[in-house]
Amino acid sequence: MSDRSQLISTGEPFEFDKKRDAEFERLIKRYPTRESMILPALWLTQEQEGWVSQEAIGYIADRIGTFAAKVYEAATFYTMYNLKPTGKYHICVCRTLSCWLRGKQEIVDYLRDEVGVTPGKKTEDGKFSLEEVECLGHCGTAPVVQINGEFYENMDVEQLKSLLATLE
């Protein structure tokens, strides 16, 4: 885990586009309290922008009518929310127990040495970004790597190498 408390400010006000706005209004009816909307709203933001900025967190809090600190908590707790712009391919390597025991470190070391990306960073060309994340729920097929939302199970360095080669 790394410190995710440093939010990035775009300096521009954030708001949902038309599509997400409608989706927000549709979803919020599902829940007994407006605060339940924190996680879906963060997803909508990430869908729209690819990442979650400081302004977006403030916007969500005000839109829901809750404390910004609460949205901030959720956004920093869950590693699935990107708090900075990602590379074209965002690689998430699970760091929780099963994956750790089954060799996630070799994968991370390979990415550092051969691809040139460390957790929380991007490659210089912006093609890859890497994050070590909390449990992805595929412990039975550890270690697991997630690239732009797609799961790749039972990973090892060889498989990852050929997988990355297929990515443009």
Cα-Cα-Cα-Cα dihedral of 159, 160, 165, 167, to 10°? 120
Q: 21, 40, 76, 156: which one contacts another protein (CB under 8 A)? A: 76
Which amino acid does the sequence have at 149? G
Number of residues this chain uses to bind another protein (CB under 8 A):
22
Q: 9, 33, 162, 166: which one contacts another protein (CB under 8 A)? A: 9
Q: How far apart are CA 89 and CA 85, in angstroms?
A: 11
Is 7 a binding residue for another protein by CB under 8 A? The answer is yes
Q: 20, 70, 84, 127: which one contacts another protein (CB under 8 A)? A: 70
Whether residue 116 contacts residue 103, with contact meaning beta carbons closer than 8 Å, is answered with no
CB nearer another protein, residue 70 or residue 127:
70
CB nearer another protein, residue 69 or residue 165:
69
Q: Of 12-20, 59-67, 103-111, 113-121, which segment contacts another protein by CB under 8 A? A: 59-67
Q: How far apart are CA 18 and CA 74, in angstroms?
A: 24
Q: Give, rounded to a whole angstrom, the gap between the first and last alpha carbons of the chain.
A: 29
CB nearer another protein, residue 11 or residue 140:
11
CA 32 to each of CA 28, 38, 45: distance values in angstroms, whole numbers, following the listed order: 9, 13, 22
Token pair 């990430």 is at which residue?
46
Is 62 a binding residue for another protein by CB under 8 A? The answer is no
CB nearer another protein, residue 94 or residue 155:
94
Site for another protein, rule CB under 8 A: 1-5, 7, 9, 54, 57-58, 61, 66-73, 76-77, 134
